[in-house]
A and B are shown apart, each in its own frame.
Chain A
Amino acid sequence: MVHQLLPIAAVDFNTLPQQLVLGIGIGAVYALVALGYTMVYGVLKLINFAHAEVFMLGAYTALFTAWYLGFSPQSLQALERESSWLNLLIMLLASMVICAIIGVIIERFAYRPMRSQPRIAILITAIGVSLLLQYGGALFLPVSPPPSIDERVNPYRGAYTITLSRPSDRLLGQKEELERQYQESNVAFEKQLEKEKSRFDLSPQGIALRNAKQEAERALRKVTDEIAASGRELKLPRGQMIMLGATLILMLILRHLVLYTRTGRAMRAASHDFDTASLMGISVDKIVTVTFIIGSALAGAGAMMQATFIGTPLTTFYGVSLGVKAFVAAVLGGIGNIPGAVLGAMVLAIAETLVVWADGSKWKDAIAFVILIAVLLFKPGGLLGSSKVEKV
């Protein structure tokens, strides 16, 4: 056994596959948000700080849609019927559409007038929009107490269980035997208890029976623990499976859009060289709008899934920490590079869960930046990006 050789106290290799499954689920959301950052950066060379707030507004849209569909706090007491997959789909589409609209509005009124200005000025505008949505949103959106989407809106709760390795038959037989013994001693003790005056004042015979019962219970618990340690199960939460599936479908659609359509080709051209693309007859304004629509809609999808399947309470700062991490993921993979964003998101999410698994949960937020700095020092363009050497 490896973990007996290494003096790493809290590492339990039996739980590793489970942690990896959770990590990939988190990575799916990171990836959806990171795509928005990377696409906007690719075309406009702008760190869109307001993207995290688009994500936050997407989560609120999902919340309001859920309320509208009859899952609001007021109606929930009387609620008997089960939700259906249709509700989830409506929430997803609502979030994506509203986020796309918000993204386009932000681009049209805050970024487009600034496009000819130095990039730092646009960046400050982006920070301004981000702050405005955080604090302005708090004036109108419900924030205290932080609302969260009721889990009953999701009809697919629970988890699939996959048994990786079964405990030995000997242990299982032992457990059966001990269970029988425990039941017998328990029945005997209960019978004796009826004759006794009280539970706390036992005759010598009663004490003997009680001790026998406790002995049997202890032995049973020991075997149960042994079984738990030797058997490996993988719990696949059904919500997370849906998340992964939906992310995969969205990625395939995105891939098709970017690689095999005229708009996608124009987008790649604008990303490669903005000025030349406009000279070649590409309407760059239209392309930027399309980029914002796609990026924001993906963020909306991620927000809806995070808010519904993971179910954390919403505030107007909901997107901040996730936004920073998604952006780090985009840079890690090579910013402007679409497969890179997904790869970076997965690396980051898995690294985070591994840190938590190795009992370093308080370093969870730092690991993202440590990996980022380490990668950038050796590969300044990111994992899949190419760093161009400036030629004169």
Chain B
Amino acid sequence: MNWGVRAVSIVAAVGFCFLIQTVSLGFGADIQRLIALAGLYVTLAVSLNLINGITGQFSIGHAAFYMIGAYTTGYLSIQFLKNSGMPGPVWLLLMMLAGAIMASLAGLVVGLPSLRLKGDYLAIVTLGFGEIVRIIVVNSPFDVSFFGVFKFFTFPNLGGAYALDKIPAIRELWLIWLLAVVCIAVCRNLLKTAHGLAFLSVREDEVASLAMGVNVTRIKVTAFMIGSAFAGAAGALLAHYETSILPSTFAMDVSFIILTMVVLGGTGSITGSALAAITLFALPEVLRRNKEPVTGGTFLAIVIGVIAAVVLIRWFQNEYHGSKNKKTAGYFASVAASAIVAFGLTFALNAIPALHDKAFEGSKLRMVIFAGSLIIVMLIRPEGVFAHHEFSWTWLKKVLRIKPKSEALAT
């Protein structure tokens, strides 16, 4: 790639961020907030993908780094922003740096035990670390002392179980999306270098890469530090966007949701993580707005239809030995058939009074649909939607039947 393409990419990226900002100004405040949060989730998912998907270190405590970034910068802004007299965006950039540094120090602390632990054990340590961070914030302020004898210092008041509020509001949508873009760019460019190959080799086989001269320890800790730094910067942006943050915003299930985004998008695929983050964030939000009650008959019919579709698709995947095109046609046919069955059943089941009278609120169903779609995607495509594929211009040209100019470009 030459400098011209690079410059165009950078300009396009920054332009894209300002475009989002301009477009979102046309919507109400709640939609703007959703766009901002979607950007933060993209950052979180892509940065976890660096630890989890690319380096293969199983971390399920990513919300802890997000939390450290948010609380550090929230506290600093409350204390010092008024006196500093700095303009908002500059201060926000400074805070992003501060959040990133604090979170990456925490990443160092978590990364060090990863030298001894593997797989699920590491997962549990990261989970435990997340919980410890949350409990420390919930219990603040407290005195750090040796059994009440020697008092070292007092941990600052971070609002305890209630909110840390009155954080000065600095809402820069373009900065949020710029962070997401930068995060994607760093991960993508890392993979194109020799260092990036070292990350991948650690994921594939630790012992073999050790034998090839890769410093496995350093790679693991670096992955943790880079990943958590981005999460910390995202936390800084969240704190200044929301102006009030709660410990429960960063509970264990947030970590699980970020992990789900990574796995659902395809472990190791940056494109997948980013798109899955947007989709999975939007899905419950869209469902939350749906106030229309769903009758028991419709609900049951949809459940039966979905189960039928999953069973049929799995049959075509595992038992049917036709050509690729026939298989694809089979998938579409099974989806269509189950949709028709579900549609028919809706009328049949709603005729039963007991099912017709039982109604579910649409907003209460949102987490059920979320969990259901998780299981379904895992059942029919366990490697994630994008598997290990990435979006690239070469791929786009192939799809659009434009012949590449040279064979060397093909990846």
Contacts and interface: CB of A to CB of B under 8 A. Distances in A.
Contacts of B136: 366
B113 to A, nearest CB: 6
Q: Which of A8, A124, A369, A390 has the most CB of B within 10 A?
A: A124
A281 interface: no
B117 interface: yes
B375 A380 contact: no
Given A128-B374, A369-B132, A377-B113, A135 B124 contact: no
Given A113-B379, A128-B375, A139-B364, A369 B260 contact: no
B19 interface: no
A366 B121 contact: no
A374 to B, nearest CB: 10
Interface stretch (B76-84, B89-97, B319-327, B365-373): B365-373
A12 interface: no
A390 to B, nearest CB: 6
Contacts of B264: 124
A124 B123 CA distance: 13
Interface in A372-392: 372-373, 376-377, 380, 390, 392
A376 B113 contact: yes
Contacts of A134: 367, 371
B169 interface: no
How big is the B interface, by class? 35 or more
Judged by DSSP, the binding face of B is helix
B374 A335 contact: no
A327 interface: yes
A380 B119 CA distance: 12
Given A139-B364, A366-B135, A372 B124 contact: yes
Nearest to B142: A362
A124 B128 contact: no
B378 A373 contact: no
Given A376-B113, A392-B207, A363 B135 contact: yes
Nearest to A46: B120
A132 B371 contact: yes
A369 B379 contact: no
Nearest to B260: A124
Interface in B94-134: 113, 116-117, 119-121, 123-125, 127-129, 131-132
B41 interface: no
Interface in B13-31: none
Contacts of A7: 147-149
A369 B129 contact: yes
A243 interface: no
Given A118-B382, A365-B135, A373-B113, A124 B129 contact: no
A120 B374 contact: no
A4 interface: no
A236 interface: no
Contacts of B259: 124, 127
Contacts of A121: 263, 378, 382-383
Nearest to A332: B124
Interface in A32-84: 41, 45, 47
B139 interface: yes
B139 A369 contact: no
A131 B382 contact: no
B360 interface: yes
Given A114-B382, A373-B125, A390 B207 contact: yes
B278 interface: no
B302 to A, nearest CB: 13
Given A131-B374, A380-B121, A390-B207, A9 B379 contact: no
B113 A131 contact: no
Contacts of B350: none
Given A7-B148, A132-B372, A366-B136, A373 B367 contact: no
Interface in A136-152: 136, 138-139
Contact of A373 (B128, B148, B260): B128
B58 A120 contact: yes
B260 A376 contact: no
B252 interface: yes
Interface string B229-256: 0000000000000000000000011001
A279 interface: no
A373 B374 contact: no
Contacts of A380: 116-117, 121
Contacts of B148: 7-9
Contacts of A119: 119
Contacts of A368: 128
A328 B124 contact: yes
A71 B263 CA distance: 46
B368 A370 contact: no
B288 interface: no
A324 interface: yes
B149 A327 contact: no
B47 interface: no
A134 B253 CA distance: 12
A87 interface: no
A124 B263 contact: yes
A125 interface: yes
Contacts of A392: 207, 211
A314 interface: no
Contacts of B228: none
A365 B263 contact: no
Q: Which of A114, A120, A324, A390 has the most CB of B within 10 A?
A: A120
Contact of B375 (A9, A125, A327, A362): A125
Contact of A127 (B147, B256, B267, B364): B256
29 contacts: A7-B147, A47-B123, A118-B267, A118-B383, A121-B263, A121-B382, A124-B378, A127-B260, A127-B374, A128-B378, A129-B371, A131-B253, A131-B371, A131-B374, A135-B370, A135-B371, A136-B371, A139-B360, A324-B252, A331-B124, A335-B120, A362-B139, A365-B131, A370-B128, A370-B132, A373-B128, A376-B116, A380-B121, A392-B207
Interface of B: 58, 113, 116-117, 119-121, 123-125, 127-129, 131-132, 135-136, 138-139, 147-149, 207, 211, 252-253, 256, 259-260, 263-264, 267, 314, 360, 364-365, 367-368, 370-372, 374-375, 378-379, 382-383
10 nearest interchain CB pairs?
A369-B128, A128-B374, A131-B371, A135-B367, A132-B371, A121-B382, A117-B382, A128-B375, A366-B135, A125-B378
Given A117-B378, A124-B374, 6 more contacts: A118-B267, A124-B378, A335-B120, A363-B135, A368-B128, A370-B132
